Chain A
């Protein structure tokens, strides 16, 4: 069983569209995250949720809205997609905040 699974794996869409990426973890972890990895492989945290509560909200355009219906799920909705949003987005979870992460396999978003 995949510990942290995110869908879709690939997403190609046009500028201006709205899209969602879903993430689920079956590890029983309390904390979930969204990271963005750019073309230079730099990993930057976007959001962190602990038990469905938003903990970290880094400087991210408000076109990005995370939603956590329960502590096993953290979805990412993106409105009005822009070319600069093209990146790989990773979901991760940890037992506690700032602990060792388990990452999903990533969603490669390409905005054309």
Chain B
């Protein structure tokens, strides 16, 4: 079956350090990927996306890397801040099928 998984359920970093959150997916038909951030008591919020014809995309303090060969996706957060503490989800999307699957979530804790 299809699965989208994150390598680590929890990640703790020091404020100011860079964070890397990983995600592995299994469906080679996935052509669109999104990272979401969910803060406590709120719904998931869009952070950044990447299409399968790209291998890197940068936003403000965030970078998503896509390695289709090994079906791996990562989210890099530069200079992590306390406000980055949240659960992060990756989602893989098959736009032709109109289907998507969310990963399990990684809880990022930023220590001051």
Contacts and interface: CB of A to CB of B under 8 A. Distances in A.
B95 A101 contact: no
A103 B98 contact: no
A92 B38 CA distance: 14
Interface in A9-68: 31, 40-45, 48, 50, 55-56
Interface size class of A (residues with CB under 8 A): 20 to 34
Interface size class of B (residues with CB under 8 A): 20 to 34
B56 interface: no
Interface in B36-77: 36, 38, 41-46, 49
A38 B36 CA distance: 17
Contacts of A103: 36, 43-45
Interface of B: 32, 34, 36, 38, 41-46, 49, 87, 89, 91, 93-95, 97-100, 102, 104-105, 107
Interface of A: 4, 31, 40-45, 48, 50, 55-56, 90, 92, 96-106
